[in-house]
Amino acid sequence: MGHSGVLAEIDGHRVLFDPVWGERCSPFPFAGPKRLHPVPLPLAALGDVDVVVISHDHYDHLDLPTIKALAGTDTVFAVPLGVGAHLEHWGVSPDRLRELDWHESTRVGGITLTATPARHFCGRGLRNTQHTLWASWVVAGEEHRIYHSGDTGYFDGFQDIGAAHGPFDATMVQIGAYSEFWPDIHMRPDEGLRAHLDLQGGAPHGVLLPIHWGTFNLAPHPWAEPGEWTKEVAEEAGQAVALPCPGEPFEPAGKLPAEAWWRGVSGEVRRTWRSVGALVAEPPKRG
């Protein structure tokens, strides 16, 4: 759906991650990062959703108008600790909230959702910081498992999550909005690939779906660079990667969208990442 928003269908259940249908990811409707392209379809056109999963309360992951629209449906919301207060304030009934700490799980229908660690932070304003938790998420059905990273820096916790919950049919991993000025809270594409491999036990497996790129310009790097970089390092590692246009559906077990759709609108992307020390070859040593 663009940025970190993904509608996943797993074992007969529909899970919507980090939906942002707003024009800007900002506290102000007239300022702040604006969409590079329109939403792929109206929110109402998605149909019924069993669970909405929120990774943390930053504006590019927790969108007020989107949540207000979903509050009028019957969907359940799975959120990290403290985030439920935002949703209640915006009209979500408390009985539809599942608020979890890391390593806690909840059951919705035939799927189990588990909040897992991430390395990030939270807050929606100068007076509202470090009051809520952030998380990555594991969703397990009767036959399949998927993972959504939310926002995170690279850390050895991916290996622990993979050992406890993996391997996964698909991972949705943040690979955009990175910078040398905030390396601890957002991953580069090579780190995102390393995270996927860690989650899968150290070897290529399943499908990597890169997220958190191509919709909002949130960092100094060219907006299309994460796509090019991810495509290159995934091919080098022999890892299957899905690169859909925003809103394009695909089946992880089927033919994956692999065309570089962004090239038609972004212009040439210089491969400056070749000078960056990659993490693909070997994960960091654990102390």
Q: Is residue 287 part of a domain?
A: no
- Provide the percentage of residues in the chain whose pLDDT is more than 70: 91
The reported pTM is 0.92
Q: Tell whether the model's pLDDT for residue 285 goes beyond 60.
A: no
Backbone angles phi, psi at 181, to 5 degrees: -85, -15
Of 78, 80, 120, 103, nearest to 160 by C-alpha is 103
For residue 21, what is the domain's CATH number?
A: 3.60.15.10
Share of the chain above pLDDT 90, in %: 67
Q: Which residue has the tokens 């509608």?
A: 7
Helix, strand, coil percentages (3-state) for the chain, rounded to 5, are 20, 20, 60
Which among 86, 145, 85, 136 is positioned nearest to 115, based on CA atoms? 136
Greater model confidence, 175 or 128: 175
Q: Domain for residue 286, yes or no? A: no
**Predicted local confidence at residue 286, as pLDDT:** 55
Burial status of residue 279 (CB atoms within 10 A of its CB: 0-12, 13-18, 19 or more):
buried
Q: State which of 28-37, 127-136, 178-187 shows the largest mean pLDDT.
A: 178-187
In a domain, 143, yes or no: yes
**Does residue 51 belong to any structural domain of this protein?**
yes
Cβ 225 vs Cβ 266: under 8 Å: no
The two three-digit tokens of residue 92, written as one number: 């979500």
DSSP state of 185: T
Inform me whether the pLDDT recorded for 121 exceeds 90.
no
Structural domain includes residue 282: no
* Domain, as residue range, for 40: 6-275
Give the whole-angstrom CA distance, residue 4 versus residue 241.
16
Q: Does some domain include residue 283?
A: no
User: Angle at the Cα of 55 (from 51 to 59), degrees rounded to 5?
Assistant: 110
**Would residue 1 count as lying in a domain?**
no
The total number of structural domains that make up the chain: 1
Ramachandran bin of 244, using left for φ above 0, alpha for ψ from -120 to 50, beta for the remaining angles: beta
pLDDT tens string 47-89: 999 999 999 898 888 999 999 999 999 999 999 999 999 999 9
38, containing H or E segment: none
